[in-house]
Amino acid sequence: MTNPAIIRIASRESPLAMAQTEWIAAELKRFHPHLAVDIIGMTTKGDQILDKPLSQIGGKGLFIKELEVAMSEGRADIAVHSMKDVPMVMPDGFALLTVGEREEIADAFVSNRFASLDDLPAGATVGTSSLRRESQIRHYYPNLRIIALRGNVNTRLGKLDDGEYDAIILASAGLKRLGFGERIRGMLDKSRFIPAITQGALGIEYRRDELAVAALLAPFTRTDTTAMVAAERAFGLRLSASCDVPLGASATLSGTRLTIAGFVATTDGKTRIANHQAGEMHEAAEIGTALAESLLAAGADKILATLMASRHP
C-alpha cells in the first residue's frame, strides 16, 4: 500500500465549513509533512435553499450529498463534515472517521440586548430553524416567539444585528471556530437544553476501499471523542433521528465511565421525555442504544409515530 502524494478535500464553501476543512488540512500537513493537500470548495443543496427549514427539504443529508458524489467520481479523496450534519446511516461504500478533540457541545445564547433566555420578555423573538432547539425553548419558555432562521453563521449574526430577532440560538462550537466567541452571551444549560447528536465533533468521510487514505487519517483518531460520538449516533440510529424529529443526546466521559443524556419531544414542546444511561466507554454504542430503548419504553415511540403520521398523512 503506497501513501498518496496528494489528498483532495471536498468541503462546503460556507465560512464555518472552510475553517474546519482548513484545520484538517493543516493537521494533515503536520502529520504528513511531504503530503500535498488541495481543498475543493463546493456549494450543496442545503446551502442553496435558505427559505425553508431543513426538515421540509430533505434533511441534513443535503449538506453532504454533493461531496459524496465528488468522492465517488474520483474528484476528491475525503470530505470534512460537522458530525451533526451526517445522517445516522452511511451510504454504501463510504466510511466515517471521528477526528480530533471535541469542541464545546452546548448551544449558545446570542443577543445584543438581553443576557439570557430568562431575561427575554413574553413575545420576544428567538431565531432558530432547529426543531430540537425550538421544542426545548417552547417547553421551558412557552411565552417566547420562535421564528425560522437559516443561513450560515455570518448571515444569522447579521440578521440579529439588523434587528430581525431579539436573540438567536447557535452552536457554541461554530461560533468559536469562526472567532465569534465574544458574541456568546451565555451557554444554555445542557441538563435542560440537550445538544444535537455529535454537536461540536468533526468527521472525515472517505471511500471505504481507499485503504491508503484511511492510513493517512489514522493519527486524527481520539478514543474519547470516538466513544462519545459512537454512543450518540447509536442513540440517534435507534430512534431514526432526522431534522424533523425533536431529539438530542450528549455523552460525557469521566475516566473510562461514559454517561449519555438524551430526550425526545413533541414539536410544540408540551411533551418531553428524557433520561440518561451510563457504562464503560468500550460499550459506547450499546449504552446509546439502551438509552434510546428506555425513552421508547417511556412513550417516545408514540411521539415518533405521531410525527411519522404527520409527515405521511
List the catalytic residues. Answer: 85
The dihedrals phi and psi of 179, each to the nearest 5 degrees, come to: 85, 20
Report the 10 Å Cβ neighbour count for 129.
21
Cα torsion angle, 287, 290, 296, 297, sign: negative
- Residue 6, classed as helix, strand or coil, is strand
Strand partners, 81: 203
Residue 300 DSSP label: I
Three-class secondary structure of residue 201 per DSSP? coil
Cα dist from 248 to 68, 81, 141, 231, whole Å: 26, 18, 18, 12
Which 3-state string (H, E, C) describes 105-155? CCEEEECCCCCCHHHCCCCCEEECCCHHHHHHHHHHCCCCEEECCCCCHHH
Q: Residue 225's CB: how many other CB atoms inside 10 A?
A: 23
